[in-house]
Structure 1
Amino acid sequence: MKTSVDLQQLIECVGDAVVVADAHEKIILWNPAATRIFGYSEEEALGQKLDLIVPERQLQKHNEGYSHSMATGTTRYGTSLLKVPAKHKNGGTLSIAFTVGMLFDASGKANGVVAIIRDDTERFAQERALKKRLSDLENPQT
């Protein structure tokens, strides 16, 4: 039995950010979780480029990867969880984990991406603290 799902309701209720950008990196979908994670309202984010949330030091790598994905219609992050820094509206840095799906037009040409993004900042900080504690225990200062 197939059940009908209201996709708009689904996008609005999920706890992870759903961000869709067109072939030119312009944001065309920004759900409430994206607002909670990044601090930008839907109105502020729509029409902006993805560099709104990409830290300056990551921009070149991001731009090269995005261009390559649009040209080839492929991404190596479709099934792999990518963990990278991101920037919040307040200027702070976040640790995010996300997957990317390619979107295509009727002729099969790549015309955008969808990213499903989770705020991993707290878990990353806890992991870093545990690694430091382990290092301190393994290498005591005398």
Structure 2
Amino acid sequence: MNTNIDLHQLVECVGDAIIVADAHEKIVLWNPAATRVFGYSEEEALGSTLDMIVPDRQKHQHNVGYGHSMETGTTRYGTSLLKVPAKHKDGSKLSIAFTVGMLFDDNHKANGVVAIIRDETARFAEERALKKRLADLENPQP
């Protein structure tokens, strides 16, 4: 069996957004799915910071956490699926779910992160609507 896999092709064709940022939060990899989810072209994203997709309310917390991860080489999220707000290029709000992994240099010093991201905006909206409908059915108003 031939196990030669073209990793570039894999990154390009996968349906989830893949974003890699370096130790200074500069985006160094942005796949086509990231463009579809966030609206920024690869050219716009590369070299920019993750602040472009982090809502203003979450920027401070994000920056503190990112800095801590780069210093310690760890993330408190491990393999957990994170569900957080994000923002699209057009300013609209997104609900995303993602996993994050730490990247290291040859000296085992953290030098970046990779995030695999899925846009859950429509699903979250449906879930909220169903919960509201269920609550309305359980607590009918006279």
TM-score range, shorter chain: over 0.9
Deviations 1:71-126 (A, max 9, x none): 11011223100000100000000000000010000000000000000000111000
State the shift of 1:52 in Å: 0.3
Runs of at least 5 residues in structure 2 that lack an aligned partner in the other structure: none
2:126 counterpart SS class: helix
**1:64 corresponding residue in structure 2:** 64
* 1:41 and 2:15 are equivalent in the alignment: no
1:15 match: 15
Amino acid at match of 2:62: H
TM-score (normalizing by structure 2) = 0.97
Instruction: Tell me, in whole angstroms, the C-alpha distance in 2 between the residues paired with 1:109 and 1:29.
Output: 19
Name stretches of at least 5 consecutive residues in structure 1 with no aligned partner: none
Change (3 A) 1:36 1:104: same
Q: How many residues align?
A: 142
Q: Does 1:82 align with 2:82?
A: yes
Match of 1:54 in 2: 54
RMSD over aligned Cα atoms: 0.9
Cα distance per residue 1:33-60 (max 9 Å; x no partner): 0000000000000000101000000111
1:73 maps to what in 2?
A: 73
Aligned ranges for residues 91-130 of structure 1 at < 5 Å?
Answer: 91-130=91-130
Task: Indicate the residue corresponding to 1:30 in structure 2.
Answer: 30
- Percent of aligned pairs sharing the same letter: 79
| TM-score of the aligned structures, taking structure 1 as reference length | 0.97
